[in-house]
Amino acid sequence: MRKRQLIIQKAMQEIEKMLHEMEKDGKDLSLIKLKKYQKTHHISCLCPKCQKANEKNNPSYRGLREFGFKVFVDEHDEEILH
């Protein structure tokens, strides 16, 4: 449990640092959006997880290479907020 809390704390520190940098760059953080993403192994990968995904014809079984989130500010959504 302690390790999980430490990981969350480190992630929060990185997010806070990134948001401060965005604010310094003049971004309006009231328009901020977060989006989760996952990058899976390439379709031609032959690892056991990807083989299972091909057999079951279900890409959700494919091995994960990376996961995280993207942060961006979309000025086009400003009219939705007002």
- Please state, in angstroms and rounded to a whole number, the distance separating the CA atoms of residues 45 and 58: 14
Q: Residue 76 is part of which domain span? A: 2-81
User: Cα–Cα distance between 7 and 11 in angstroms, integer?
Assistant: 6
Q: Which two tokens stand for residue 63?
A: 């091995």
Question: What is the phi/psi pair of residue 23, to 5°?
Answer: -65, -40
Q: How far is CA 62 from CA 35, 55, 68, in A?
A: 21, 11, 17
pLDDT of residue 6: 87
Q: Looking at residue 74, what is its pLDDT?
A: 66
- What's this model's pTM, rounded to 2 decimal places? 0.52
Q: Three-class SS of residue 31?
A: helix
Q: What is the pLDDT of residues 28-70, one digit of tens each?
A: 888 788 888 888 888 888 999 999 999 999 988 888 888 787 7
Distances in Å between the alpha carbon of 73 and those of 4, 20, 79? Answer: 29, 13, 13
> In the structure encoding, which two tokens stand for residue 1, read together?
């449990």
Total domains present in the chain = 1
Higher local confidence (pLDDT), 25 or 77: 25
